[in-house]
Chains A and B, each alone.
Chain A
Amino acid sequence: MPSQKTTVPVNADIDIVTARQKGRELARDLGFTSTDLALIATAISELARNIILYANTGEIVLSVVENGTRRGLKVVARDDGPGIPDIERALEEGFSTSRSLGLGLSGVRRLMDEFDIVSEVGNGTTVTVKKWRL
């Protein structure tokens, strides 16, 4: 079982496809169900698109996490973009400052088991999500 990190640079819309495909492969290796694979790939797609939309460039880092006997997939979406001034508001259902997203971060949070966001204006945004195998 691979335990190393996979880093996918996100600079263009083709990288959104690459990131979600790599995430799906890793999740499949971990034994996630096909339903979970779709949820994970969709979440990665949204996170990668956020990077393109708001920061132009960043990266998605995929890795395996363990908690006792449980294994899961961790996805870190990192950028050095403008940051989010009001995280609370950004997490509201349906909130989006971009015309391209109707769902934003709240949607990603619903797809995954754990969700964490660190953002500072002028210093970029890091979103960390995890999905645990049942």
Chain B
Amino acid sequence: MQVPILKQRDYLIASIQAALTDADLLQLRDALVSQVGTYRSRGVIVDVTALDVMDSFAVRTLRDLAHMIRLRGAETVIVGIQPEVSFAMVQLGLTLEGVSTALDLEEGLAYLDKKLRITAPPPVKRRG
């Protein structure tokens, strides 16, 4: 089952809808890494809210995805890791080192907005 990828402003949003096979995960990784170039996206959000399991393969693939996208010049944030999933990951010793995470889609967008904001020039000082 393919994951739909939405383009919104400078971002790509991949919303995982159901359990994914290993092949689906790899397909998602490659599609995002490629589309970052196609759409000149600056940020990628992967929403994993629907995943009730994140095993070693899923975690490793998401970590690879984030690192590959960083090499392409964009930022990735993984959003929606469920409480039980986070517990299982910690028990297994799985980490998403070097990968940004956020509570949900809204927080993910806010994170990217903040992280990617072009530093505005200092305001012109007015006299009087």
Contacts and interface: CB of A to CB of B under 8 A. Distances in A.
Interface residues on A, range: 20 to 34
Contacts of B82: 38
Nearest to A33: B84
B3 interface: no
Interface stretch (B6-14, B37-45, B90-98): B90-98
Contacts of B91: 39, 110-111
A21 interface: yes
Interface stretch (A11-19, A72-80, A81-89, A120-128): A11-19
A7 interface: no
B88 A111 contact: yes
A107 B56 contact: yes
Contacts of A24: 52
A38 B23 contact: no
Contacts of A103: 56, 92-94
A42 B21 contact: no
B88 A14 contact: no
B113 interface: no
Interface of B: 19-23, 52-57, 60, 82-85, 87-88, 91-94
Nearest to A39: B88
A-B complex: 7 closest residue pairs judged by Cβ atoms: A38-B84, A45-B55, A13-B22, A38-B88, A42-B88, A107-B92, A41-B53
A102 interface: yes
Contact of B57 (A39, A100, A111): A100
A123 to B, nearest CB: 26
A13 B21 contact: yes
A130 interface: no
A46 B22 CA distance: 12
25 contacts: A16-B22, A17-B21, A20-B53, A21-B19, A35-B83, A35-B84, A35-B87, A38-B53, A38-B84, A38-B88, A41-B53, A41-B88, A42-B55, A42-B88, A46-B55, A46-B56, A46-B92, A49-B22, A49-B57, A93-B93, A100-B57, A100-B60, A101-B56, A103-B94, A110-B93
